[in-house]
Amino acid sequence: MNQPLRTIGLSTVPELDDHQFVRWQALLEERTGMCMPIQRRSFLQTSLGLRMLEVGCRDYDAYYQMLLDGPAGVMEWSVLVDRLTVQETRFFRDPDALALVEEYLQTHAPGLQQSGQTVGLWSVGCSSGEEAYSLSMLAERLLEPFGGRYAVTGTDISTIVLRKARAGVYSIRALERIPELYRDHVIAGQNAKKFQIAERLRERCCFSQVNILNLKSCPLQSQHIIYCQNVLIYFRRWRRREILDALAQRLAPGGLLVIGLGEMVDWQHPLLEQVHSSRVSAFVRKQSNSSWESARR
């Protein structure tokens, strides 16, 4: 049954009624874990409607069935989820959290270099890569003087943003977010409209598609820094706990987990010790000797 149409510029999209909104809301949460609040109903309607126009479908129920239809439905879902889950990001987005990462790396760099370990940094929900490259810039500056090695992994559910992250090409306006300290050393191929992250940094960064609901099957282990900011707010509280429990298991002893301030204020884990800070929400994995958090008090 065709729906009433709503005009958006030169295009039209069907109106999304209450029943249809709940149905699509449930599908998105079932497959990605993300909860679409009623306040984002207009966003959901626009995103679905415009994609339906692209594939020549004018009915929400018919499009819903299309997504359930074998391999073609899997491919179409991959396209749609890119539209629904891509979130805003930028370079050096949270100075306080990155300052804590910098402090952690400065403290641990000599010991990690002596042990021959490669420092693993994981950007969870990396979107188009700005966060992962910000971590890479910090790691290069702080670890290279000690001969330290590092590897940054960025994961996201969206294949489209991961392609952009791998290319490392951004609008020239994004350059304003990168501190002057890093610009001459990490930027290559700059022109009037775009710039590219230097090859030596791109070689240190790996980007992979991971559904955060399936962290149990994620191969990443023993990470020294897990950076998971502005991700948990899209999930229900019980699911946030599941995600954080899985991330805690993937920290190396003494490793640092950073989450968004206020995203999970009452969460605790027996393996972790909370970092005492009013500006950053972070945890350190306990180890047999005195922890970094205890030493910094």
What is the spatial distance between Cα 242 and Cα 202, in angstroms, rounded to a whole number? 31
**Which residues make Cβ contacts (< 8 Å) with residue 216, sequence separation at least 6?**
246
Q: Which two tokens stand for residue 8?
A: 């958006």
Quick check: 273 pLDDT over 50? yes
Strand order in the sheet with 251-259: 205-209, 149-156, 118-124, 223-228, 251-259, 281-285, 272-274
What is the spatial distance between Cα 170 and Cα 62, in angstroms, rounded to a whole number? 37
Share of the chain above pLDDT 70, in %: 92
Q: pLDDT-derived band of residue 10, with 50, 70 and 90 as boundaries? A: very low
For residue 128, which of 152, 160, 151, 98 has the smallest C-alpha distance?
Answer: 160
How is 102-155 classified by DSSP, letter by letter?
A: HHHHHHHHHHHHHHTPEEEEEEET-TTTHHHHHHHHHHHHHHGGGT-EEEEEEE
Quick check: 264 pLDDT over 50? yes
What is the spatial distance between Cα 216 and Cα 60, in angstroms, rounded to a whole number? 33
Q: Which two tokens stand for residue 40?
A: 């984002």
What is the spatial distance between Cα 48 and Cα 56, in angstroms, rounded to a whole number? 12
Q: pLDDT-derived band of residue 294, with 50, 70 and 90 as boundaries? A: low
Residue at 192: amino acid letter: A
- Name which residue leads in pLDDT, 83 or 62: 62
Angle made by CA atoms 33, 39, 42, in degrees to the nearest 5: 95
- Name which residue leads in pLDDT, 244 or 34: 244
Quick check: 56 pLDDT over 70? yes
* 142 touches 113 (CB < 8 A): no
CB atoms within 10 A of CB 125: 23
- Name which residue leads in pLDDT, 294 or 228: 228
| Least confident among 49-58, 91-100, 147-156, 165-174 | 49-58
What is the spatial distance between Cα 253 and Cα 190, in angstroms, rounded to a whole number? 40
Q: pLDDT-derived band of residue 97, with 50, 70 and 90 as boundaries? A: very high
Domains and CATH numbers, the chain: 5-85 (1.10.155.10), 95-296 (3.40.50.150)
Quick check: 290 pLDDT over 90? no
pLDDT at site 188: 76
Most confident of 200-204, 260-264, 291-295: 200-204
CB atoms within 10 A of CB 86: 16
Express each pLDDT in 206-237 by its tens digit: 999 999 999 988 999 999 999 999 899 889 99
What is the spatial distance between Cα 297 and Cα 288, in angstroms, rounded to a whole number? 18
Report the SS3 class of residue 246: helix
CB atoms within 10 A of CB 144: 13
Q: pLDDT-derived band of residue 21, with 50, 70 and 90 as boundaries? A: very high
pLDDT at site 295: 61
Quick check: 37 pLDDT over 80? yes
CA atoms within 13 A on the CB side of 126: 33
N-term to C-term CA, the chain: 64
pTM comes to 0.86
Quick check: 94 pLDDT over 90? yes
- Tokens 């610009």 identify what position? 183
